Amino acid sequence: MQSKSAIRRGNKGRKELVKAHRRIASRMHANAKKRGHAKSLYKNAITYQAAAASYTEAMLRNILNANDNRVSQNASLLMHCITSIADGMRTEAYRNGFSIGKELYRMLNSDKHYETYEESIPGLVSFFENAGLGNVAYAAFEDMLSLDVYSNEHRYVGSSIHVFESGIISGFVSSGRRNYSIISERACANNNSDHCEFVLEGTGYRGAEPVNGNIKGKELLDMLLGHIHRPHYSNEYLSSSYMALLSAVVADRRYIGEMNSIMRYIGSSIGDTLAKKGASSRLQGMLNVLDSIYTGMVEVRSKKPMSFIMSFDGTKLNEAYVRLSLSLVEGIFSRAYSTKKMKAIEINRYNLHKIKIAEER
């Protein structure tokens, strides 16, 4: 793996962020028009599915067996908001969730041998509760399904943001009902409700995923940043394996350039706030933010010159997610430490991926 070049100063700015939103939203439509795109996409999907099947199954088993580490709800909120930035990303999140839901049903059904889809819903409920989403109540009938998820995560962002979960439920229920079942989030705890409500909207066809076209990415990010600047501490935590499945959506290679720009923008906003603090408070503030929204470990090696290590579990998080995390740090340093040059050195040991962030001397 190549060493990361020196972290540079600079903020792409709001205009670039808006452009990034538009590029993401239009990417799928543009790709669909390319000659031969559908055929090549099908071939690539077969290869990808074969490679990813064992990984997805391993993550699902970690959750089902409640044998997993935990990450903060702040990291979860960040990922859910980013996957809701534009229609293209929401569609990808729904489809990724759909594939995971199908695999989850296959795994549970191989042991339980369900006769009706209604019999399978308690297994789905246990999965979500083990993942750390909250307590789940449900009502399941032949042509009606409602899942209500109750948690302490009620920070307002002005949008229903759990399209990934809608996809999981859709894939799971579609497998049990043996027809494509559309699920939507009718109410959201992050949008003026005391819980999240997922309902069966009916049957349809692949490509009919529910998409909320009224979401404005810039406003959603501003809401998110407000919560990041005011850290939220809760006794509820999300499964790290569930977080890995969710973050795979954000790290989709087709959108990685735009996602990196957005993560740098988030980091720059955090850095602007930290720049107003003294040196000691600035460093501690940065570490507090990283600890709050980052899904790995941060270890300080020295304060003068500044040096710390970010560690990632290589069995769960892919390279693209590591790059996104680094973009976040780049944004923070470009504004909080504008007079210093930083460098990033990547170290891979066994299943642990580390990045050493150090001040250049």
Residue 213, token pair as written in the block: 């076209």
C-alpha span between 221 and 84 (Å, rounded)? 10
At 59 the three-state DSSP class reads helix
Q: What is the pLDDT of residues 69-107, one digit of tens each?
A: 888 888 888 888 888 887 778 888 999 999 999 999 999
User: Token pair 């993560």 is at which residue?
Assistant: 263
> Over the Cα atoms of the chain, what is R_g?
21
**Which conformational region is residue 15 in: left (phi greater than 0), alpha (psi within -120 to 50 degrees), or beta?**
alpha
- Around 300, how many Cα atoms within 13 Å sit in the side-chain half-sphere? 13
- Report angle CA 200, 201, 203 to the nearest 5 degrees: 95
Task: State the fold for domain 46-214+236-252.
Answer: Muramoyl-pentapeptide Carboxypeptidase; domain 2 (3.30.1380)
C-alpha span between 166 and 196 (Å, rounded)? 11
C-alpha span between 355 and 352 (Å, rounded)? 10
Dihedral in degrees, nearest 10, Cα atoms 90, 92, 93, 99: 150
Residue 285, token pair as written in the block: 């503030």
Among 111, 143, 148, 106, smallest CA distance to 128 is for: 148
Q: What is the pLDDT of residues 111-152, one digit of tens each?
A: 899 999 999 999 999 999 999 999 999 999 988 999 999 987
Q: What backbone phi and psi angles, to 5 degrees, belong to 352?
A: -110, 125
Among 132, 109, 131, smallest CA distance to 121 is for: 109
Domain with CATH 3.30.1380.20 in the chain: 46-214+236-252
Element (H, E) at 160: none
C-alpha span between 182 and 167 (Å, rounded)? 8
User: Token pair 């002005």 is at which residue?
Assistant: 158
User: Looking at residue 8, what is its pLDDT?
Assistant: 37
Contact 97, 247 (CB under 8 A): no
CATH class of 1-32+215-235+253-361: alpha beta
Bridge partners, residue 172, by sequence: none
Number of neighbours of residue 315 by Cβ within 10 angstroms? 15
pLDDT 10s per residue in the chain (361 long)? 333 333 333 444 445 544 554 555 455 445 545 444 444 544 444 444 544 568 899 999 999 998 788 888 888 888 888 888 877 788 889 999 999 999 999 999 998 999 999 999 999 999 999 999 999 999 999 889 999 999 878 889 988 899 999 999 999 999 999 999 999 999 999 999 999 999 998 887 665 566 555 556 778 888 888 887 766 666 678 888 998 899 888 767 777 788 888 888 888 988 898 888 887 788 888 877 877 776 667 778 877 777 788 887 766 766 777 778 888 888 888 888 876 777 777 776 666 777 777 777 6
Contact 357, 312 (CB under 8 A): no
Among 234, 135, 153, smallest CA distance to 189 is for: 153
At 297 the three-state DSSP class reads strand
**Sign of the four-CA dihedral 95, 96, 99, 102:** negative
- Around 240, how many Cα atoms within 13 Å sit in the side-chain half-sphere? 15
User: Looking at residue 41, what is its pLDDT?
Assistant: 42
